[in-house]
Structure 1
Amino acid sequence: MKLTVFATTDVHGAIYPYNYFDNEPKDNALLKFKTYIDKYKAMNDKETVITVDNGDLLQGDVWSEFDSTNPAQALVPGIINEMYDVIGLGNHEFNFGLPFLNEFYKQVTVPIVNSNVDFLDDSLKDLVKGSYIKEIETEEGTVKVGFLSVVPTQILKWDKFHLEGRVNAEPMTEAVKETTAQLKTAGADIIILLSHTGMSNADNDLSQFGENQAVLMAMMENIDGIVFGHTHDVFPNGNLLIEDDRIDIDRGTFNNLPMVQPGVSASHLGVLSFELEYSADQWQVKQADSRLIGAEDIVLKDDELADYQKDHERVLNYLEIPIGKTDYPLNTYFTRVIPSRGVQFVSEATVWFAKERAELKDINTPVIGFNSAVKVGRDGAHDYTDIPAGEMTIADSIDLYKHANTLLIIKITGKVLKEWLEWAASSFNDYDGEEILQPNNSRYGFPGYNFDTFFDLDYTFDLTKQARYESSAHQINDSERVIKMMYKGMPIKDTDDFIVPANNYKVAYAPFLRDAEILYESDISVRDIVTEYIKSGETFSYRNPITIIPHDTYTFTTAAAAKEYTEGLPIEHLEDCGDGFSTFRVKL
C-alpha cells in the first residue's frame, strides 16, 4: 500500500494567489496546493492520500484579517473542510483570542488536533481533540493512521493576555510520549506527528521547555513521520538547517525518519511518502521519504479558481476602502540601520491613542512611543512594507502592522527602559567595521520584529561592547551598549517614570516587562489604532533617535528594491545577491 501525506505549515493566511499589497498575481497560495492535490487524487485513485496542516494557518495575510473582522462568516473554514483531513495548531492560532478561535473552529468539520494544550473552556475542549485516528479500508484490512500535534509552551508567554487562566500547556516532548503511547494502545498502525516547532541543536531548544524541538521529536519512539514548522525554514533542501550527520537530504530524513518543513506563506507543499507492507498480521513501513513541491512549479488554469473568485472580490473590496493619505512614502527597507517613517508611523499612532484616553489625562508622566518593523525581510525579498505617497486604504494599515496584537499602556522606570534599549542594541553584530546586523532569523539570529525604536528619545549604542541580550530577551552577559539616553535633552535616570503604549506580545515576551504596571488594556488591536490614526489626518515629523559608535561605514543586506530609496540617505548600493536581496553600505 502506498500512502502519501500532503502537508502545509505556517501558511499565515496566504490563501489566494494574489499580492493584495502590490495588486498583482503571486506564485505562493494555499489554493494552488488544493488544486494540485485534487488533481493528484484523481490521477492516483488507487493510492491513499491524506492532507494535513501543521498550524499558523489562520493569521498573517489579508484573508486572515478579513476573517478576524467577520468571524461568523469566515472564508477559510470552508477551504479547510474541502482540503484537509486533519489540522493541528500553531502559536499564531491564539493571536485573535479564544472567543475568535471558538467561533472559527465551530465552522470547521475536519478533526482539529492538539496534544499539549489543555483548554479550560469547555467549547474549545470539545472542538480540539488530543489525537485522531483515520481509518483506511484495504483488501488486507483496515489501516489506522494516528495523528497528534504539539505547539511550543511559549504560547503562554507570547499570548499571555489571551491565555492566562484559560489554558495550560504541557512540555511538547512529554505530550508526544504520552499521546503516541495512547495511539498505539488504540491500534494505530502508523503515527504522524504535526509538530509546530523548528529544527535546532541549540542547548536551549534541547531542554524540556525548548521552543524548537524537532530534533528531539525525531529521536522518540512510535513516530513514523513528522511535519514540522514554526521557524519558516524548508526541509529537505540543500541549505541545511543544522549541521548533523543524521540528516539525509536525498531521502528527506533525519535519524532515518521522514520529515518535512514546507516553508512559509504557502511557498511549498510538503510530501511524506510511505510504502506500507502487511506482514505478520500487522502493517509495517517498508520505505519512507519526504520531498517538497514549490508553489512556483504549480500552474493554474484560468478557470481553476472560479469557485473562489467571489471571496477574492469580497477581500479586495474590504481592503480597498480608503481611510486617509500620506504625504511621504512609507517603507521598511532600511529601518534596522536607519529608522524609517514606516516604523515611526505606528509609534506615533499608539502615542496619539494613549494621549486621547481619559484614564490617562490626569497623569503627569511622559508618554513615549516605540515600534519595530514586522515586515522587514524575514520571509523573503518581498517581505517589506512599501507604501507610496498618496491615498491610503485598509490594505496599507495591514501592511504597516500585520499582527493581531492588542494595545497595553504600561508604566515603566528609566531602569527598565535602559534594559529595553539594551535588548534593541543587541540586534547589532559585534563591531568589526563590516556587516552590522545579526541575521534576521528567529532560530539563530535577531529578527527585526524584536528591534524596537523609541522615537521620542535620543540614545547612543556602542558596538565595541558585547551584546547584552539574545533575541529571546534573555540576558547573556553584563555588558552595556547603551551609553547615553536622553528625553527632551535631559539624561534619563533609573528612577524616572514613563508611560509606553506597548503591545500584548512585547509585554508578555520580555522578562524585564512582565512586572510593568498596566494602566490601560485596549479592546481593539494595534492595527485598528493605526487605521483610526490614518483616518484622523494627524501628521508627524520624522526623527532618527539612534546614534551608533564607532562612527564608521558598515555593510548590511536588504531587498534590492531598496535601491530606489537611497537618495538623501548615507546609503549606497553595492551589489545584487541574486535572490531579490542586495548588499548596501551605510555610513553611521
Structure 2
Amino acid sequence: MKLTIFATTDVHGAIYPYNYFDRQPVNHGLINLKYFIDQYKKDHPDEIVMTVDNGDLLQGDVWSDYDVDHSRAPLITGVLNAMYDVVGLGNHEFNFGLDYLNDIYGNVDIPIINSNLDFLDNPLKNKVKRHALIPVDTPAGRLNIGFVSAVPTQIMKWDKYNLEGNVEVASMKESIDREVQVLKKSGADLVILLSHSGMSRAKEDMERFGENQTFLMTFLKDIDGIVFGHTHELFPHDGYEIDVSTLDIVKGTVNGVPMVQPGVKASHLGRLTFEIDMTDGVQITDSKAQLIEAESIEPTPEYLSRYEDEHKEVLKYLSTEFGEIKTPWHSYFSRVAPSYSVQAVAEAAKEYTFKIKDDIELPELPVLAFSSAVKSGRDGSADFTVIDEGTLTLSDAIDIYKHANSFMIIKVTGDILKEWLEWSASQFTSDKEKNILSPNRSRAGFPGYNFDVFIDLEYTIDISQPPRYSSSAKKISDSERIVSMSYNDEAIDPDDEFIIPAHNYRVAYTPFLRDQEVLHESDQSIRDIVIDYMKSEPEFELKDPITVIPSGKYYFISATKARDYIKDEPIRHIRTIEDGFSWYEIEM
C-alpha cells in the first residue's frame, strides 16, 4: 500500500497564479498545486492521498489583504476546505489578531492543529486542536494517521500585542514529544509532524526555545515524516546547507526521517511517500521526500476558470486609484543606496507620529524615523518592490509594505541607537570580499528586511572592521563599524534621548530593543499607515544618510531587471548570472 502526503508551507497568500503588482500571470500559486493534486488523485485511485499545510498561508499577498477587509466572507476558506485534510499554524497567522483567525477558521471544516500553544479565554481554544487523528479505511484494514504541529515560541515577541494574555506557548520539541505519545496511545499507526520551523544546527537554535528546531525533532521517537518551513528554503535540494552525517539528499531523509520543505509562495509542492505493509500490523517498508516545481504544472483554462470570480474580485479591490508619483519607486538597490520605497515607509511612520503626538502626550524629544525594504530579493528575483511613475493604486501601497506589523513608539538613548546602527551595518561583509552584502536569507545570512536605514541621521560605516552582530541581532564581536553618527549636524552622545516610530516585530525581535521604554502601543498596522500616507500624494526629498568607508568600487547582486532602473545612482550593471539575478558595481 502507498501513502502519499502532499504538503505546502509559507504560501503567504499566493493563491491564484497572478502577480497582482506586475499585473502579469505567473507559473506558480496554490491553485496550480491544487490542480496537480486533483489530477494525481484521479490517476492514482489505489493510493491513499492526503494534503497538509504547514502555516503562514493567510498572510503576505493580495488575497490576504482582501480577506482581512472581508473577513466575514473570505476568499481563502473555499480553497482550504476543498484542498486540505489538515492545516497547521505558522507565526504569520497571528499578524491580524485572534478575532480575524476566529472569522477565518469559523468557515473552515477541516482540522486546524497546533501542539505547543494554549489559547486561553478565546473561541480558538475549541477550534485549534493539539493534534489530529484521521482514520483511513483500506482493503487491508483501517490505517490511523496522526498529525502534530509546532510554531516558534518567538511569536509571543513578534505578535506580543495580539497574543499577550490570550495565548501561552511551550517548547516546540517538548510539546511535540508529548503529543506524539498521546497519538500513539490513541492508536496512531504513523505520525506526521508539521514543523513551522527551519532546520538548523546553530547554537541558538539548539537551545530549548530556539527558533529553528526541526533538526532536533528528527531525534524524537515515533515521528515518521516531517513537513517543515519558516525559513523559505527548499529541501531536499542540492543547495541546502547543513552539516549532518545522517543526511540522505536523494531520499530526502535526516536521521532516517523523510522531510520536505517546499519553499515559499507556492513555488513548490512537497511530497512524502510511504510504502506500507499491513500484513502483520503496520510496517513502513520504505519512505522518501520529494519536491515538485510549480513551473512544471500547467492547470487547464477550464480549471482556472473555477476561481475567475475570486480573481476578478481581488483585481477590483486593488484598482482603487489615488495620487501619482513622478519617478519610479523600487527596492532593487535598497541595501546599498537610498530608496524612495523604503523612505516612504519611514516618512509615513514619522508623519503619523506627529499626527497623534499631542493626543498621546509624547515628550519633547527628536523623532527619528527608520525603515527597511520588506522586499529586497530574499525570495527570488521578482521579490522587489517596483512601482513605475504615474497613478498609484492600492496594490502599489501594499507592495511598499505588505506586513500587518502593529505600530509602536519607543524611546531610546544614544548608546542603544548606536547598537541599532551597528546591527544594520552588519549586513555588509567587508571591503575585501567579492560581494559587499551578506547572503539575503534568514538562515546563515542577513536578509534585507533587517537593514534599517535612519533617514534623519548622518552616519558613517567602516566596513574594514568585522561585523558586530549576526542577522538575529546577537552580538558576535566587540568591533565597531559606526565611526560617527549625528543629528542636525551635532554628534550624538550616549545619553541623548530620541523618539522612534517602530513596529512590534522590530522591537520584539531585537534583543537590545526589548527593554526600551514603550511610549505608545497600538493595533494600527504599519501597512495601513503607509496606505493612508500614500493617499495624501506625498512629496519628499530622497535622503542619503549613510557614508561607507573605505571609499571605492564594490560589487553586489540584485535582480537583472534592476539595470533598467539605474538613474542617478553610481551603479553599473556587470553581468547576468542565474535565476534572474546579476552582478552590479557601485561607487561608495
TM-score, normalising length from structure 1? 0.98
8 A Cα contact 1:2 1:276, kept in partner = yes
8 A Cα contact 1:430 1:466, kept in partner = yes
RMSD: 1.3
Whole-Å separation in 2 of the counterparts to 1:143 and 1:117: 28
Inter-CA distance 515–31: structure 2 relative to 1 (3 Å threshold): same
One-letter identity of the residue aligned with 2:521: E
8 A Cα contact 2:322 2:537, kept in partner = no
Whole-Å separation in 1 of the counterparts to 2:211 and 2:496: 35
8 A Cα contact 1:433 1:552, kept in partner = no
The DSSP-based 3-state class of the residue aligned with 1:407 is strand
The equivalent of 2:310 in structure 1 is: 311
The equivalent of 1:101 in structure 2 is: 101
One-letter identity of the residue aligned with 1:407: F
Whole-Å separation in 2 of the counterparts to 1:59 and 1:76: 11
| 1:200 to partner: Cα distance | 1.4
- After TM superposition, the structure 1 stretch with the greater mean CA deviation from structure 2, 38-47 or 140-149, is 38-47
The equivalent of 2:264 in structure 1 is: 264
The DSSP-based 3-state class of the residue aligned with 2:72 is helix
The DSSP-based 3-state class of the residue aligned with 2:332 is coil
8 A Cα contact 2:194 2:228, kept in partner = yes
The equivalent of 1:347 in structure 2 is: 346
8 A Cα contact 1:368 1:499, kept in partner = yes
| 1:205 to partner: Cα distance | 1.4
The equivalent of 1:189 in structure 2 is: 189
1:128-153, Cα deviation, whole Å (9 max, x unpaired): 00001100112222100000000111
- After TM superposition, the structure 1 stretch with the greater mean CA deviation from structure 2, 436-445 or 361-370, is 361-370
One-letter identity of the residue aligned with 2:303: E
8 A Cα contact 2:122 2:166, kept in partner = no
Whole-Å separation in 2 of the counterparts to 1:503 and 1:532: 17
Whole-Å separation in 2 of the counterparts to 1:114 and 1:292: 24
After superposition, residues 16-95 of structure 1 pair within 5 angstroms as 16-95=16-95
Whole-Å separation in 1 of the counterparts to 2:198 and 2:511: 23
| 1:279 to partner: Cα distance | 3.5
1:216-258, Cα deviation, whole Å (9 max, x unpaired): 1112110111101111111112212313232212212112211
Inter-CA distance 37–345: structure 2 relative to 1 (3 Å threshold): same
| 1:183 to partner: Cα distance | 0.7
Whole-Å separation in 2 of the counterparts to 1:311 and 1:495: 55
Whole-Å separation in 2 of the counterparts to 1:65 and 1:175: 32
After superposition, residues 320-335 of structure 1 pair within 5 angstroms as 320-335=319-334
Uncovered stretches (5+) of structure 2, i.e. residues with no partner: none
The equivalent of 2:112 in structure 1 is: 112
- After TM superposition, the structure 1 stretch with the greater mean CA deviation from structure 2, 246-255 or 178-187, is 246-255
The equivalent of 1:284 in structure 2 is: 283
8 A Cα contact 1:199 1:241, kept in partner = no
The equivalent of 2:450 in structure 1 is: 450
The DSSP-based 3-state class of the residue aligned with 2:342 is helix
The equivalent of 1:477 in structure 2 is: 477
8 A Cα contact 1:435 1:556, kept in partner = yes
| 1:376 to partner: Cα distance | 0.3
1:64-98, Cα deviation, whole Å (9 max, x unpaired): 11111111111101110110000001111111111
Whole-Å separation in 2 of the counterparts to 1:446 and 1:160: 24
Whole-Å separation in 2 of the counterparts to 1:360 and 1:367: 14
The equivalent of 1:293 in structure 2 is: 292
Whole-Å separation in 2 of the counterparts to 1:122 and 1:571: 53
After superposition, residues 485-564 of structure 1 pair within 5 angstroms as 485-564=485-564
8 A Cα contact 1:55 1:90, kept in partner = yes
After superposition, residues 77-476 of structure 1 pair within 5 angstroms as 77-280=77-280, 282-357=281-356, 358-359=358-359, 363-432=363-432, 434-476=434-476
Whole-Å separation in 2 of the counterparts to 1:537 and 1:236: 47
1:512-562, Cα deviation, whole Å (9 max, x unpaired): 211222222333211111111111122110111000111121111010111
Whole-Å separation in 2 of the counterparts to 1:125 and 1:241: 38
Whole-Å separation in 2 of the counterparts to 1:66 and 1:168: 29
Whole-Å separation in 2 of the counterparts to 1:523 and 1:164: 13
Q: After the TM superposition, list the runs of 4 or more consecutive aligned residues in structure 1 that deviate by more than 6 angstroms.
A: none
8 A Cα contact 2:362 2:519, kept in partner = no
Whole-Å separation in 2 of the counterparts to 1:213 and 1:364: 44
Whole-Å separation in 2 of the counterparts to 1:513 and 1:206: 23
Whole-Å separation in 1 of the counterparts to 2:157 and 2:428: 25
- After TM superposition, the structure 1 stretch with the greater mean CA deviation from structure 2, 286-295 or 207-216, is 207-216
Whole-Å separation in 2 of the counterparts to 1:140 and 1:302: 39
Tell me the percent identity.
51
The DSSP-based 3-state class of the residue aligned with 1:383 is coil
Whole-Å separation in 2 of the counterparts to 1:373 and 1:203: 28
One-letter identity of the residue aligned with 1:549: I
One-letter identity of the residue aligned with 1:327: K
The DSSP-based 3-state class of the residue aligned with 2:324 is strand
| 1:199 to partner: Cα distance | 1.4
The equivalent of 1:575 in structure 2 is: 575
1:17-69, Cα deviation, whole Å (9 max, x unpaired): 00100111001100111111111112211211100000010110110111111
Whole-Å separation in 1 of the counterparts to 2:316 and 2:419: 44
8 A Cα contact 1:558 1:583, kept in partner = yes
| 1:483 to partner: Cα distance | 1.1
